[in-house]
Amino acid sequence: MSAPRTDQRILGYLGRALSLELSAVQMYSTQARLVATWGLDEPARHLRQEAHEEMQHVERIIARMLALGVAPNASQLRPVQLGSDLPSLLQADFVFETELVQLYLDAARHAARIGSHDDRVFFQGLLDEEQAHARELTQWLQELDRPLEESREHRVRG
């Protein structure tokens, strides 16, 4: 008895996810090194942790592809977008994470439509984690903006 054929769109989602997650590893690793050169040790540590978490996603995607009998093949890494300060880096990260969220949302919905429970659960797990990353980035950006707002208010009152 042969294994059921895997839906081609599921394989497409997995391939795109692999490319984007590898791009995320490259992006966060580069940003960690960059902000470390700026003397921002805590943000560098946090960005290194993000790179590690994205690498775990890469490993899960590769394992899923192998389980489906296909060879992993990332098609293209995105160029790293560098910024001149931490907020600009984090804003670019948020845009990138939003793209991953949309990919995993689309993939989970497609898997549900075709009745592929295992694929739906797989993509939903990645979706949940990427949504958490996006929320963390939003919070981090708000925290960085808070001192600027307080400084502006102080100048207006003073």
Enter the CATH code of domain 8-157. Answer: 1.20.1260.10
| Cα–Cα distance, 75 to 18 (Å, whole number) | 8
**115 dihedral zone (left: phi>0; alpha: psi -120 to 50; beta):** left
pLDDT digits (tens, 9 = 90+) for 96-126: 999 999 999 999 999 999 999 999 999 999 9
pLDDT digits (tens, 9 = 90+) for 48-82: 999 999 999 999 999 999 999 999 988 889 999 89
Provide the b/e sequence for 113-143 (b: ≥16 CB within 10 Å). eeebeebbebbbebbebbbebbebbeebbee
Q: Please give the share of the chain, as a percent, with pLDDT higher than 70.
A: 90
Query: So what's the pLDDT on residue 147?
Result: 62
| Cα–Cα distance, 24 to 29 (Å, whole number) | 8
pLDDT surpasses 60 at 156: no
CB 86 within 8 Å of CB 144: yes
Predicted TM-score (pTM) of the model is 0.88
Extents of the domains making up the chain? 8-157
